[in-house]
Amino acid sequence: MSSDADSATPTAPRAIVAGHGDFAAGLVSAVEQITGRGSQLIPVSVAKLSVEDIEALLRSRMHQANVRVIFTDLQAGSCTMASRRILRGMDDAVLIAGTNLPTLLDFVFADARTPPEAARHAAERGRSAITVHGAGA
Amino acid sequence: MTLELYRIDDRLIHGQVVVGWGQPLDIAFIVLVDDIVATSDWEQELYRMGVPPEMDLYFHTATDAITQIPRYRADPRRGLLLTGDIDTMRKLVDGGVGITAVNVGGIHFRAGRTQRLRYVFLTPDEEIALRELDARGAGVTAQDVPGARPIALADILAGDELS
């Protein structure tokens, strides 16, 4: 039996998460642990793949899940480069590079917005979520 | 200073190059040698956005690079030269610009290639090309990141590092 809260929780994929090593799986796991909304995010690992294969894999995942948002880890990363190629000519898609956990947490709760709008909002949240404490701060 | 590293990496500009090697070697500029990228404004803009603002990025065809390498070696800053495939690096070595060491940083899977390292897959022709580079005095080692142990060509081709 599902409660109102359960039925209000979107579970369909809304974005791809891709990056180095286990970055994507780790972040999505953390989102799931904190919010139970990890199913909105599709983690993609690209180890051992060529640039062409990374692009093909990301493109395939986007089409399969019908999503238009990609979160990546590093601006110079292969996933970011491949995503920028994919987004070329796609006016309705958004790439967020430099993703952190606060970014994704904001995204999965912003289900009243379209995924691209939610991604832009989440990027700002993630940017402002970095704080410094301790010596010299 | 000089060009600190001559690297073959089919991902060209990416995290290992910009951060992994760029920071410990204090790399101030990257020379990207690729005939397609050198003639495409869009490709160049794509790669420019992948490097930090304090790092310069220069693009050349293989032919052009042969004439420009001495100028980069005379640059007071530290630089890194990057090709996306073995054939381009071989053109530079054949051009007689005095490359004495080649770093294989990443040649990934595609049809016809056999895995030799976690990050190196080679066709039979590519294996021959690497042997030829090595024989011409451009010592070939594989090393994805600075903290990893350089792997000699014989050990790359033996595939022993996979076991």
The two tokens of residue B10 are 């089919």
Q: Express each pLDDT in B111-149 by its tens digit.
A: 999 999 999 999 999 999 999 999 999 999 999 999 999
Residue B60 annotated to the active site: no
Picking from B9, B11, B43, B45 by the largest number of A CB atoms within 10 A of its own CB, the best residue to mutate is B11
Of B17, B4, B22, B19, which is closest to residue B102 (Cα–Cα)?
B4
Q: Which of B14, B48, B73, B78 is catalytic?
A: B14
**Chain B residue at shortest CA distance from A20:** B15
Structural domain count of chain B: 1
Tell me which residue range forms the domain holding B136.
3-162
Classify residue A99 as exposed, middle or buried by CB count within 10 Å of its CB (0-12, 13-18, 19+).
buried
What is the C-alpha separation between B81 and A88, in angstroms, rounded? 27
Q: Express each pLDDT in B32-88 by its tens digit.
A: 999 999 999 999 999 999 899 999 999 999 999 999 999 999 999 999 999 999 999
Of A77, A41, A12, which is closest to residue B17 (Cα–Cα)?
A77
Place of tokens 């359960």: A6
Picking from A45, A46, A79, A84 by the largest number of B CB atoms within 10 A of its own CB, the best residue to mutate is A84
Class assignment of domain A11-128? alpha beta
Q: Which residues of chain B lie closer than 8 angstroms to A52, CB-CB?
A: 110
Chain A nearest-CA distance from B4, in A, is 20
Query: Model pTM?
Result: 0.85
Report CA-CA distances (Å) from A45 to A50, A73, A79, A88, A106. 12, 12, 9, 22, 22
> Between chains, do B46 and A85 touch, taking CB under 8 Å as contact?
yes
| CATH number (domain holding residue B46) | 3.40.35.10
Q: Express each pLDDT in A60-114 by its tens digit.
A: 999 999 999 999 999 989 999 999 999 998 889 999 999 999 999 999 999 899 9
Q: Which residues of chain B lie closer than 8 angstroms to A48, CB-CB?
A: 108-109, 118-119
- For B7, the enclosing helix (H) or strand (E) is strand B3-9
Sign of CA dihedral A52, A53, A54, A56: positive
Residue ranges of domains in chain A = 11-128
Q: Express each pLDDT in B6-25 by its tens digit.
A: 999 999 999 999 999 999 99
